[in-house]
C-alpha cells in the first residue's frame, strides 16, 4: 500500500502573510503646477501684462505704454467612481479570517488598505489625465482635455526641437529646447523640462555615457539640473509613452478643482436595501496654461 494523493491540491498557506497592496506610480505633476481650488464649473485665469516705455526727462506729461488685461478659461469636469462590494462573497476564501463573527457583513475587513489602493490608483490615473486627457478619446482619458492637447492647440507655443528622443540625439534635443526658450522667460526661477520617465532615463544615461560626471541630481526622484542651465529636467509618469517633452515654468500650468485633495476621499458605507458595501468618490478637475508663448515643445 502507498499513499494516493492525486485528489489533493498542493497546500498553500494563504493566511500566513498579510494582505498587501501593489505599489504603483502615483501623481507627480499636480505637486509641481499651480492648483486652483473652489471651481464648480469654470473660472478665469486673469492675466495682466504691461509695458515699460521710457521718455527723456522734461517738464510736462506725455502718456505712453499700455497695460492689457486678458483671460484664459479654466473649466473643470465632474468625475466620479462608484463600486459595490458584496462582503458575503469573501466568506468562501482566505479573507474569511479577517472578517467579524456573524452573518451580517457590513464592512470591508481590509477597508483601510482598500481605500489606500483606490486613492493610489486614482492618483496614477489623474497624473496621466493631466497630460494626455482628450475628450475625443475613450476611457479615463476622455474625461477632460489635458495639457498636451491644450498646448498643441496654441499657435504661439515655441517649437524647440524635432530630433528623436533616443540615445543618439536626446542630449542635442534637450540643448535645442533650452536654446529656444524665449528671452523674457530665460531668467524664470521655476523652469522645468517635463519629460516621460523613460526618456529621462535615456537622457541621464546619455549624460553618463558622454562622461559628463559633473552633473548634479536635484532631488534624486527623476529630477536633474540640466548641466550649465537653470532648468530642471524632471520625469513625470503622466507623459509616459507620449514621446513629448515640454519646457516651461511650472507655475504657468494650472489645474482647477473644487476642493483640494477631493480626489483622494472615498466614502465607504453599507447600503441596507442592497446588502452591500458601496464606494463613492467624486471630484472635479481641469487644466490650462496662462501663457502659451512662454512654453517650448518638441
Name the residue with cell 505633476.
29
What is the per-residue pLDDT for 215? 58
* Structural domain boundaries, residue 254: 29-38+77-297
Query: Three-state SS for 129?
Result: helix
Question: Which run of H or E residues covers position 150?
Answer: helix 147-152
What predicted TM-score, i.e. pTM, was given to this entire model? 0.84
> Rounded to 5, what percent of the chain is helix, strand, coil?
25, 25, 45
What is the end-to-end Cα distance of the chain in Å, rounded?
Answer: 76
Contacts of residue 238, defined as CB under 8 A and 6 or more positions apart, other chains included, come to: 27, 28, 29, 127, 128, 129, 130, 131, 132, 146
Q: Is residue 161 part of a domain?
A: yes
Q: Is residue 227 part of a domain?
A: yes
Q: Is residue 262 part of a domain?
A: yes
pLDDT tens readout for residues 255-289: 999 888 777 788 888 999 999 989 888 999 999 99
Q: Is residue 22 part of a domain?
A: no
Contact 140, 276 (CB under 8 A): no
pLDDT tens readout for residues 57-71: 889 888 888 888 878
What is the per-residue pLDDT for 241? 94
Angle subtended at Cα 278 by Cα 273 and Cα 281, rounded to the nearest 5 degrees:
140
- Grade residue 292 by pLDDT with cuts at 50, 70 and 90: very high
Sign of CA dihedral 250, 255, 256, 260: negative
Contact 111, 126 (CB under 8 A): no
Contact 8, 45 (CB under 8 A): no
In this structure, what C-alpha cell is assigned to residue 47? 492675466
Chain-centroid distance, C-alpha 124: 7
Question: Which run of H or E residues covers position 35?
Answer: strand 34-36
Q: Using H for helix, E for strand and C for coil, what is the string for 229-286? A: CCCEEEEEHHHCCCCCCEEEEHHHEEEEECCCCHHHCCEEEEECCCCEEEEEEEEEEE
Q: Is residue 184 part of a domain?
A: yes
* Best-predicted range by mean pLDDT (9-13, 80-84, 99-103, 156-160): 156-160
Strand 232-236 vs strand 191-196: parallel, antiparallel, or unpaired? parallel
Q: Is residue 94 part of a domain?
A: yes
Q: How far apart are CA 44 and CA 92, in angstroms?
A: 54
Statement: residue 170 has pLDDT above 50: yes
Q: Is residue 99 part of a domain?
A: yes
Q: Is residue 54 part of a domain?
A: no
Mean pLDDT along residues 36-56 = 84
Domain count, the chain: 1
* Dihedrals phi, psi of 147, to nearest 5 degrees: -65, -35
* Dihedrals phi, psi of 130, to nearest 5 degrees: -50, -45
Amino acid at each position: 500500500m502507498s499513499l494516493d494523493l492525486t485528489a489533493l491540491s498542493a497546500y498553500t498557506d494563504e493566511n500566513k502573510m498579510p494582505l498587501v497592496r501593489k505599489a504603483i506610480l502615483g501623481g507627480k505633476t499636480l505637486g509641481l503646477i499651480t492648483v486652483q481650488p473652489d471651481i464648480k464649473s469654470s473660472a478665469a485665469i486673469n492675466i495682466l501684462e504691461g509695458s515699460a516705455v521710457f521718455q527723456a526727462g522734461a517738464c510736462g506729461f506725455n502718456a505712453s505704454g499700455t497695460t492689457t488685461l486678458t483671460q484664459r478659461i479654466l473649466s473643470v469636469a465632474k468625475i466620479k467612481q462608484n463600486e459595490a462590494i458584496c462582503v458575503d462573497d469573501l466568506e468562501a476564501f482566505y479573507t474569511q479570517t479577517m472578517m467579524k463573527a456573524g452573518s451580517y457583513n457590513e464592512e470591508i475587513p481590509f477597508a483601510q488598505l482598500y481605500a489606500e489602493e483606490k486613492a493610489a490608483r486614482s492618483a496614477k490615473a489623474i497624473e496621466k489625465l493631466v497630460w494626455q486627457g482628450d475628450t475625443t478619446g475613450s476611457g479615463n482619458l476622455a474625461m477632460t482635455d489635458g495639457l498636451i492637447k491644450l498646448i498643441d492647440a496654441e499657435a504661439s507655443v515655441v517649437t524647440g526641437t524635432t530630433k528623436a528622443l533616443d540615445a543618439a540625439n536626446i542630449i542635442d534635443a534637450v540643448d535645442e529646447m533650452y536654446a529656444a526658450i524665449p528671452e523674457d522667460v530665460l531668467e524664470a526661477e521655476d523652469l522645468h523640462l517635463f519629460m516621460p520617465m523613460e526618456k529621462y532615463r535615456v537622457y541621464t544615461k546619455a549624460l553618463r555615457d558622454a562622461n559628463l560626471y559633473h552633473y548634479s541630481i536635484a532631488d534624486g526622484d527623476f529630477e536633474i539640473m540640466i548641466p550649465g542651465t537653470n532648468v530642471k529636467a524632471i520625469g513625470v509618469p503622466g507623459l509616459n509613452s507620449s514621446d513629448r517633452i515640454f519646457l516651461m515654468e511650472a507655475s504657468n500650468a494650472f489645474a482647477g478643482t473644487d476642493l483640494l485633495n477631493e480626489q483622494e476621499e472615498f466614502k465607504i458605507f453599507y447600503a441596507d436595501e442592497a446588502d452591500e458595501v458601496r464606494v463613492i468618490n467624486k471630484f472635479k478637475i481641469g487644466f490650462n496654461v496662462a501663457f502659451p508663448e512662454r512654453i517650448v515643445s518638441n
